[in-house]
Structure 1
Amino acid sequence: MLSIIGIGDDGLNAASAAVRDRIAASEVLLGDERALSLLGESTTGKRIVLSGDVNQVATQVEAVGDRTAALVVFGDPMFYGLARFLIERFGKDRFEVLPHVSSMQLAFARVMESWDEAYLTDLAIHPLTAVVEKIRTAQKVGLFTNPDVGPDQVAQAMLDRKIDYFTAYVCENLGARDERVTRAELAEIAAGEYTSLNVMILIRRADAPDRPRDAVGRRLFGNHDDAFLQAKPKQGLLTPSEVRSIALAQMDIAPASIVWDVGAGSGSVSVEAAQLARDGAVYAIEMDAEDHGLIQENCDRFDVANVIPVLGKAPEAFAKLPDPDCVFVAGAGREVTRLAEAAFARLRPGGRLVVNLISIDHIAQARESLMAATRAAGHEPNLGVWMVNIARGADQLERLSFESLKPSFLIAAVKG
């Protein structure tokens, strides 16, 4: 049995009797140099300094064999700690975990805020752009920063995205003699310098909005067509908001989905798919250079950072892209069927493809092609087909009338 033990900067002085007994009885003691140095000289076990690489740590732990051992870390080993990795690697039967107060707990205690419903994460394992998006709607936030992404960079990234409604705390060297807690506005934090051992706490100011004023009225999906920039000669060719809403619903986009938008145009589907796949990525494939440029402009308008515009012709452009979970294909001619076949072949098992056609002539061909592709993969076809007729209300001569949009057709297919 290997005991994974959490300690603080005061070493064994504040440790429980159970922790001291485990360490005293251990034939092998593992930890980084700082943790092992805090155990003092009274322990007799062989000391092994852990590698900075987790796979090498696993090898060091495996080499312990059946000897009684203790692995010493700081704080709570299960809270973004080494214990999670080792238990996933070797199973629960081999370990016991004796936690100490985590630095996150200490940080919230220092600023005297509860943390039971806070958004907590570690910037060592999650990209800053994704974290900032989650901060936008959070009430309280606790961040483990790291030497590569410090509090100043977090604060500046938030200000760049107009998220300026948090009070920030930077808690450095918690539990040590040189502990320091800084409370400041984000602009001050962005201009500061901090030690690498810190936790950043963000507290949302009362009555602060979820988004900047110029974004009020914008939705996750189904935004009005006029909200998107379009090339002038092609004005009105983007997927109408009502059809876009049905298509996105049928794509069943998850927060971490990889999405392809084939024939993205100016990017209306890409932008809204990106807002749904906030931890994933959307590849907006477009062969027209002018529309390709508009994709990024529309991403900037909606403040989405997870759309990757791809200038190229499909299906050749598919070659360098990761396999998708969801695909949207739009077009008017026979080429749509060929693109749908190629995209369906790359779709991950369980993935969903939605085809939008504006001509009734090609529906049967596209449907039969996708049914054949599904059977070829060893599955019974799982397809849905819709004809979408939309009429929008309009005032004419003080009377309500309806203006019909051109009928649109959708085919949705599930792979497996």
Structure 2
Amino acid sequence: MVSSATTAKRPARQLLAGAVGHFVEFFDFLIYSYLAIYFAGQFFPSSSGSQLVPLLSAFGVFAAGFLVRPIAGLVIGVFADRYGRRAAMTMSVWMMGAASLLIAITPTYAQIGIGAPIVLVVARILQGLSTGGEYTAAAAFLVESAPANRRGLFSSFMFVSSSIGKMVALGVVALLAGVLGDEAMRSYGWRIPFALGAVIAVVAWWIRHRSQETLEQAETSSGKDTRAEKPGLFEAMRRHPVQTVQAVGLVAGIGGSVYLWTTYFPTYASVMTDLGASASMVASLIGLAVYTVAAPLVGLLADRVGTRPIMYAFAISTAVGTVPLLHLMSAGFVGVLAAQIIGLLFTSLGTSIMAAVLVQMFPQRFRVAGMGFPYSLSIAIFGGTVSTIGTALASAGAENWFGWYIAALSVITLITTISLPRNRRHGVSEERPAGDHAARPGPVHIEP
């Protein structure tokens, strides 16, 4: 099992190493969404006169970045289980930086024709590969690094770091839009954040390179180093099919909610209301600041009361509240801001503890691969398509269905949470899955 005595020697450094890469991943991956309204026309020219046509094409490429994430979650997950979490996290941050640099220098459709969107798709696929392996490798790294009574807190920093990345991305985009103006942003200003993302990826690599590997501290009950028993590509799914399906269901509602409120909402609000892009981004920036403060508090609460009641609170509040919150947009900036803050507070109940719950579900020997494939698959299906579905429904005049779609995803998470096995002390059974001979980590409380 994970040796807390060893991994807790420098927990602050471990926390920074796990979090900083996730910051870079989401800064680089999500500025695409924030900047799509500026560069969509340069890569996908429209002859219809509607701003939604090139925007829909741009978000289609955004979703394409998610299609490769299940493959990356599986392949990079096996790499992390065989060669270490740090090696996988270092590789993922380099891939993300390279992809961002490629987008920053890609010529427009007017300059090279069809080659422009092709290069854009290639870059997004590379980003998808990076992000597909990043979350679960970093999640395992953080939870394995955490003291036994602080795994909920360490888990929460996965989305604390990503929300900081989103805030910085929003701040950079809003600042550039205010300084350069709309015309300059559409011409060249949108390239600046992508170039910046490539630079900070180098910093993240340096920090991660100095971190302590957590896989080295994991041993089987016989004292044998688990890396000597290299896991197979599909071993986790073969041995734990039920947990694989449950992981998909758990992530469905959380993925839909997080990509609505943290990624798509600024663009959605600017399209559906009279607010400009800058005002929508300011509302999102404020909401993300509140979310960043709330997430660690949720993690600390999970360390005290367990995560099952918090998962229930997330699923029920999101299922009931999403439709009314989206209707608040009609109240102008105040309504958009209120919807953003409340939606993110609901979302924090799920994102703050998701890593801790997923880590608990699979044994350490193939934990990252076990989490990686179902997590990335669910995110690709239910998270990566949020912007495309929302834009398509708005284009078809059926925008009222969008909130109900997000609510339905939360119901899936609720049903899955109910299905998780229990024991007298904790919500998820601490018994080893059948056929597994590796010790599991210390318990993450799923229910008191």
TM-score by length of 2: 0.19
Q: Larger strand proportion, structure 1 or 2?
A: 1
Greater gyration radius: 1
By relative contact order (CA 8 Å, sep 6+), the higher-ranking structure is 2
